[in-house]
Amino acid sequence: MITKIVFSLITLFTFGFFAYTINRISRLFKLTKKEFRFDRLAERATITLKVAFGQTKMMKRPLSGLLHAFVYWGFLVITVGTLEMIIDGIAGTERCLSFLGGFYNFITASADIFASLIIISCLVFLARRYITKPRRFTGVEMKPSSRADATFILGMIFVLMVSLLLLNAAYVADTEIRHGYFPISEGIASLMSGLDTGTLQMIGQTNWWIHILLVYFFLNFLPYSKHFHVISSVPNVFFTRLEPYAKLKNMSSVTTEVRLMMDPSATPPPAAAEPERFGVKDAEDVSWKTLMDSYTCTECGRCTAVCPANSTGKMLSPRKLFVDLRRRMKDKGPGLIAEGKSFSDGKALIGPDYITEEELWACTSCMACIEECPVDIDHVPFIIDMRRSLVMEESKAPAGLTMMFTNIENNGAPWQFPASDRLNWAQDIELKNA
């Protein structure tokens, strides 16, 4: 009875603290701009099944992609067992989902197999991180804390899976009539055949507590880690941009002004409220989806690895942009919540403390980063919005672009000559009759 009460209190605290953390993060999202992403729901569901659950983008790098898929799929299956453990802990039952019969056998066998695959995956990931050291794991944005974060998470997942296998093995070794099927744990149980019932029960109970307490800690650690994508990746993929990657969104107020310039006889639309800011200068100027992108970024570096600007030595790292956005919102967000939009700490997202102008203008808008990202982060529109702020708010642009803007203003085209001279190149060309 005391054990059930203690476990119930731990469970209540765990989910209460998680709800508190999510509420804090949601308040940061309320500071951002609204954006409608609830259209074409069937198409969004299909993409989510393929990209998020099917891990199709991860498979572009077959070895690491397959190992990551093992971890992801394994967690989906093992979550069913975790739910069973929570119910058992609160109600004092044992294997409460065993009434599912054959399906229960399938779930327990799958969890057992995936647990062993996850252990292998964790060992490979640790070896890759500390021995082979892929270039995409490095960068100015990759602080020692990021590496420590990854190592800690991998170590925690490793212990979670080992404790699960030992828990199941003790159960198999101690029970003649058992519920479920455990192909891997049965092999481990054979090594415990000489242990008495008391020892087996102690091993089972110890690993039960280790496993469930680690699950609870893991749940509450994720929002403070770069591995928050475990929670946010599915909704982030669901709300992905459905238009072609190369389609860039214009500001409606600017589009209206251009149309009126091109056709002065057109009827102006009803006066709309003046936009607070053109583009993105600071964290609160982004849309909620862009902020979700930053929280979903796994810092895997696949976007940076395929970026032609980064590959040629320029400062741009698409990954860094979202690491900086997340860091900026964490720095400024509490002040905005406390004091409102008037709060200022003297810094901005675009500036020496976060994202520099040189990084932004290095982007070629090739969309390779978006194509490569396994969780459908939208890098280029974010870059374009920050460039828009520089040009339209501060009149800042590279010299070549400034000259082009001047020519468009004076000549109606990017070239340094008037429209009347545009066909001079064809004056000496003789056309033959067909």
422 lies in a domain? Answer: no
**pLDDT mean over 346-372:** 94
Q: Is residue 244 part of a domain?
A: no
Shared domain for 264 and 406, answered yes or no, is yes
**Residue 206 has which token pair?**
């110890």
The Cα–Cα gap between 340 and 65 comes to 43
225 and 261 belong to one structural domain: no
Q: For residue 298, tell me if it sits in a domain.
A: yes
**Does any domain span residue 423?**
no
Which of 151, 141, 296 lies closest to 223 in space, CA to CA? 296
pLDDT, position 174: 86
Domain span at residue 349 reads 252-415
Residue 218 has pLDDT above 80, yes or no: yes
* Position 376 in a domain: yes
**Do 67 and 205 fall into the same domain?**
yes
- The pLDDT > 70 percentage for the chain reads 98
Please enumerate in sequence order all residues whose Cβ is within 8 A of that of 270, keeping only pairs 6 or more positions apart, or say none. none
Q: What is the pLDDT of residues 286-323, one digit of tens each?
A: 999 999 999 999 999 999 999 999 999 999 999 999 99
pLDDT higher than 70, residue 19: yes
Q: Please, are residues 382 and 321 in contact by the beta-carbon 8 Å criterion?
A: yes
The domain total for the chain is 2
Task: State residue 356's pLDDT score.
Answer: 95
Q: What is the DSSP letter of 425?
A: G
Inside any domain, residue 39: no
More confidently predicted of 269 and 396: 396
C-beta separation of 74 from 272 below 8 A: no
Q: What is the pLDDT of residues 249-289, one digit of tens each?
A: 888 777 887 777 777 777 777 765 666 688 999 999 999 99
What percent of the chain clears pLDDT 90, i.e. is strictly above it?
69
Predicted confidence at residue 268, as pLDDT, reads: 74
Residue 311: what pLDDT?
Answer: 94
Residue 1: per-residue pLDDT: 77
User: How many angstroms separate the CA atoms of 299 and 127, rounded?
Assistant: 18
Tell me: pLDDT of 434 over 60.
no
Q: Indicate if 370 and 311 belong to the same structural domain.
A: yes
**pLDDT score, position 415:** 84
